[in-house]
Structure 1
Amino acid sequence: MAFRRARNPDARMSLGDHLRELRRRFLISAIAVLLCAVGGWVAYPQVYDRLAAPFNDYKASHPSSVISLNFGNATAAFSQQLSISIFVGILASSPVWLYQLWAFIVPGLTKKERRISLAFIGATVPLFLSGCALAYYVLPKVLAVLYGFTPAGASNIQQVSEYFSFVTRFIVAFGGAFLMPVFLVALNAIGVLPSATMLRAWRPAVFGIFVLSAVATPTPDAFTMFLMAIPLVFLYFAAVGVSKLIERSRRANRPEWVDVADDEASAL
């Protein structure tokens, strides 16, 4: 006689179940990154030219500057192609690993809450890629400022690995910053961060966004800082609005007997 597994109406998971769930989602994400990295390896020449374009444009506009990219040893070219392929894999597979991350953080939503939150999580990929695109847009200005500190008569011969490491981290950092509202909604969905708390803390949140934007865009003009800060402020308040919708849905589905005092009789 076969025994049925006990039902788990609360959808609670043990620590071992959480670890196995984490491992499963990590493997799915890693396989997606690996497969997309293969495509990045094939498209390496085009990606290299695109990422090196801000550097080459600066070099062309400053013909008197002694500045160039340098492969330092025999294995540098291979290592650089591998790292850029992985970078392409991370960007191209973002729909997969962003979904896996969200599904692991917020596993226990009701059907209605899931519809509301999925409408917002559906924007994660455009948000992430928009942040990356914005980083690429401001990158030439950032390089112009940084290379401007080179003393007259000095050369600025960079290792290719160092340049591309800076560029890829800069782009991913912008993309990650644009995911801020997704994690705010996730914290709200699991009951850690109420929307009222986010709304009360809007002043320090906006201040922190501008500080982050100033650090991430080290240029003397305020335009670049506002270019990053204003979308993040808008996304912060959008996260507050979505969190309020989730809370309203949760209250509507909350049984009446839950709010009855222990010494009173409920309809149940």
Structure 2
Amino acid sequence: MLKSARKKEKDPEGRMPLVEHLRELRNRLVKSLIAIVVTTIVAVFFYKEIIEFFTNPILEAVGCDRSFAELAELAKNNGETKCARIVQNGLLSPFTLALTVSLSAGVALAAPVWLYQLWGFVAPGLHRHEKKYSLAFVGAGFPLFLLGGYFAYWTLPKMASVMLEFSIIGSDNQLPLDDLLQLIMRMILVFGLSFELPLLLVMLNFGGILPGKKMAGWWRGMIMGITVFAAIATPSTDPISMLALAGPIWVMYFAATAIALTNDKRRARREAEGPADDEASELDLTPEDIGEIEAVGAPRALTDGSGPERDRVNGYDDVT
């Protein structure tokens, strides 16, 4: 009964007292944390497979014909490997690494839950068109981030092989596992977030902040800036990794410019047609000069009565 009564008392526009907002925020945070904890516990049992998923392509790229687990077993038995060795330093390193990998995987796997809770908290305060645009941008932003992460995962093996070519001949190159995983995660985040740049430009255009003509005029500077950013973001010096990051962003930038120009034309055409039949027209609050009003045939001001005959205004010869 209390729950049904509380639902009836809710404002249809989503307005509620501050205490109710805080209570709703607490409930949604608790649900998100529970989902993250559950997925983290599940990831604990598979954290070695998760590590192998990210490290095996790099090992194959540097000349290893065995997986991470096989190399670990080989090093344990006779201490000999035929490629760069992955090592762990410190007594607590295996435990902290397992915890970090499991927690990161838990946050990623629980993303649908905590993103839904975040949307449920924000959505009641948005208008209908704002909800539509928000869902469209979120629906486009998540695949773009995954696409950027895939490009990072695809270029990392090539980057690793190029970087290891700088090693001294005959030296034993040891790769700390925690540093390697941090590099992989950083590259995935950098690639994923950089793929969101075109979406940000489209959002600014739809908000009326950035016109498409200005975006089109920036293309030389944007190509140079994206190239410099790709050169800095990729640790390797080979052009393949740099082009793997810069090339898709170039293409998406020009696609975003085309979308912005199309949206500007649509907006200009809608403004030229005027408001629809069910829309209220905008009021013109610009003050006009009294002389301009008389010129278009408005009633003249009253005379002071000094003439022989008083002008009659609206049927009266004076103010009364």
Give the alignment's TM-score, normalised by structure 1. Answer: 0.71
Instruction: Give the C-alpha shift of residue 64 in structure 1.
Output: 8.3
Q: 1:200 to 1:97 in 2, by over 3 A?
A: farther
Structure showing greater Rg: 2
Q: Distance in 2 between matches of 1:199 and 1:168?
A: 33
Q: Distance in 2 between matches of 1:100 and 1:214?
A: 37
Match of residue 200 from structure 1: 217
Aligned amino acid, residue 213 of structure 1:
A
User: Of residues 60, 66, 70 in structure 1, which corresponds to 2:64?
Assistant: 60
Task: Please say if residues 65 and 155 of structure 1, whose CA atoms lie closer than 8 Å, have aligned partners that are also in contact.
Answer: no
Other-structure match for 1:149: 166
**Residue pairs, 1:1-268, within 5 angstroms:** 33-57=36-60, 58-60=62-64, 67-95=84-112, 110-112=127-129, 114-116=131-133, 118-243=135-260, 245=263, 248=267, 256-257=281-282, 260-263=284-287
On the 8 A contact 1:66/1:154 being kept in 2, the answer is no
Q: 1:22 to 1:261 in 2, by over 3 A?
A: farther
1:135 Cα deviation (Å)?
A: 0.8
Deviation at 1:119, TM superposition (A): 2.8
Which one-letter code corresponds to 2:40 in the other structure? A
Alpha-carbon contact 2:198-2:252 (below 8 Å) kept: yes
2-structure distance, mates of 1:200, 1:229: 19
Q: Distance in 2 between matches of 1:150 and 1:200?
A: 44
Q: What amino acid is the match of 2:267?
A: R
- Percent sequence identity over aligned pairs: 33
Deviation at 1:209, TM superposition (A): 1.6
From the superposition, tell whether residues 239 and 170 of structure 1 become closer, same or farther in structure 2 (CA, over 3 Å). Answer: same
What is the rounded CA distance, in whole Å, between the counterparts of 2:22 and 2:223 in structure 1? 35
Structure 2: give runs of 5+ residues left out of the alignment.
Answer: 1-10, 15-20, 67-79, 289-320
Tell me, yes or no, if the aligned pair for 2:159 and 2:241 is still in contact at 8 Å: no
Amino acid paired to 1:176: L
Alpha-carbon distance between aligned partners in 1 of 2:32 and 2:254, rounded to the nearest angstrom: 30
When residues 196 and 121 of structure 1 are mapped into structure 2, their CA distance, relative to the original with a 3 A threshold, is farther
Bigger drift between 167-176 and 210-219 goes to: 210-219
Deviation at 1:198?
2.7
Let me know the Cα RMSD of the aligned residues. Answer: 4.3
- Residues 37 and 90 of structure 1 are in contact (CA less than 8 Å); yes or no, is this contact kept in structure 2? yes
- CA offsets 1:130-167 (integer angstroms, 9 cap, x no match): 11111111110111111111111222223221111111
Query: Deviation of residue 257 (structure 1)?
Result: 1.4
Shift of 1:77: 1.0
Equivalenced residues, count: 255
Q: Distance in 2 between matches of 1:104 and 1:204?
A: 39
Cα distance change, pair 207–187 in 1 and its aligned pair in 2 (3 A): same
Between the aligned partners of 2:119 and 2:256, the Cα distance in structure 1 is 15
Distance 2:258 2:116 in 1: 21
Give the C-alpha shift of residue 173 in structure 1: 1.5
Distance 1:130 1:91, change over 3 A: farther
Alpha carbons of 1:222 and 1:162: their partners in 2 closer, same or farther (altered >3 Å)? closer
Change (3 A) 1:29 1:190: farther
CA distance in 2, matches of 1:92, 1:83: 14
TM-score (norm: length of structure 2): 0.62
Q: Which amino acid aligns with 1:163?
A: L
- Aligned-partner residue type, residue 50 of structure 2: V
SS of residue in 2 equivalent to 1:69: strand
Match for residue 15 of structure 1?
none
Bigger relative contact order, structure 1 or 2, given CA contacts below 8 A and separation 6+? Answer: 1
Q: Using the alignment, how far apart are the partners of 1:193 and 1:100 within structure 2?
A: 31
Quickly say closer, same or farther: Cα 1:92–1:157, change in 2 above 3 A.
same
Q: Provide Cα deviations, 1:68-89, integer angstroms capped at 9, x if missing partner.
A: 1112122111111111123223
